Amino acid sequence: MPLFQTIQFNETTKILIWEITESLEELLSKVVLKEKTQKRLNGMKSQMHQRAFLSVRMLIQEMGFTDKDLHYDEFGKPYFDCHNYISITHSYHFAAIIISHETVGIDMELQREKIQKIADKFTDYECNYLEPKITEEYIKKLTVIWGAKEAIFKIRNEKGISFKDHIRVEDFSLEKKQTESSLHFDDLVKDFDVHYEEIKSDNFEGTFTLVYAFEK
């Protein structure tokens, strides 16, 4: 199934999710790639990665762009020449993009028990409100926090940012699907609006968390 979900967040912000069920050949037959992109594709070791990469091109085509419009800076951050911002994520058989006139970042993660084991590597401020004993909620909240920090990292794209030391995610309830976050780095504080929701598909066991952030 191609386009899995579209979220029109506001007038200038759209999120598109692709469920990757097509073969590599099928996807290749549906996109036009510039030479640089074709080279990158050829260099990828996993076919799943290649299919995810091509699914992103399908998504940008859905939005009226082509691979020619999409560029990357020296750190790997994607951008368009025009006044639209883009951020990209892929996770297992999902690929997602967010396109907006605002500065945005996106991340999608599979909820996994093992996130508990690395919680101390990316949380600090959040320990004030997290409750590790309520396991299911703890895993879901950790996944939101991780996704928020990845999304914010993708916006700022600055060397030296530590998820644990420099990014704070404010307390939130899973039902509200919205929280605030701030980046404290290089003597500056930047604030972000964070949104999250769960994504489930019939073709895959497990639940994903989609997180996107806007720089205020």
Where does this chain bind ligand COA (CB under 6 A)? 53, 56, 75-78, 88-90, 107, 121-122, 150, 153-154, 157, 163
By beta-carbon proximity to ligand COA, the closer residue of 72 and 173 is: 72
| Distance in angstroms (rounded) separating the CA atoms of residues 191 and 214 | 9
By beta-carbon proximity to ligand COA, the closer residue of 53 and 212 is: 53
Q: Minimum CB separation from ligand COA for residue 72, in Å?
A: 7
By beta-carbon proximity to ligand COA, the closer residue of 22 and 150 is: 150
By beta-carbon proximity to ligand COA, the closer residue of 126 and 173 is: 126
Q: Minimum CB separation from ligand COA for residue 168, in Å?
A: 14
152 vs 40, 44, 63, 99, CA distance in Å?
25, 26, 23, 15
Contact between residue 194 and residue 151 where contact means Cβ atoms under 8 Å apart: yes
C-beta nearest to ligand COA: residue: 76
DSSP-derived letter for residue 77 is -
Q: Which of 197, 205, 214, 215 is nearest to 17 (CA)?
A: 197
Q: Minimum CB separation from ligand COA for residue 189, in Å?
A: 19
Q: Which of 77, 138, 141, 147 is nearest to 109 (CA)?
A: 147
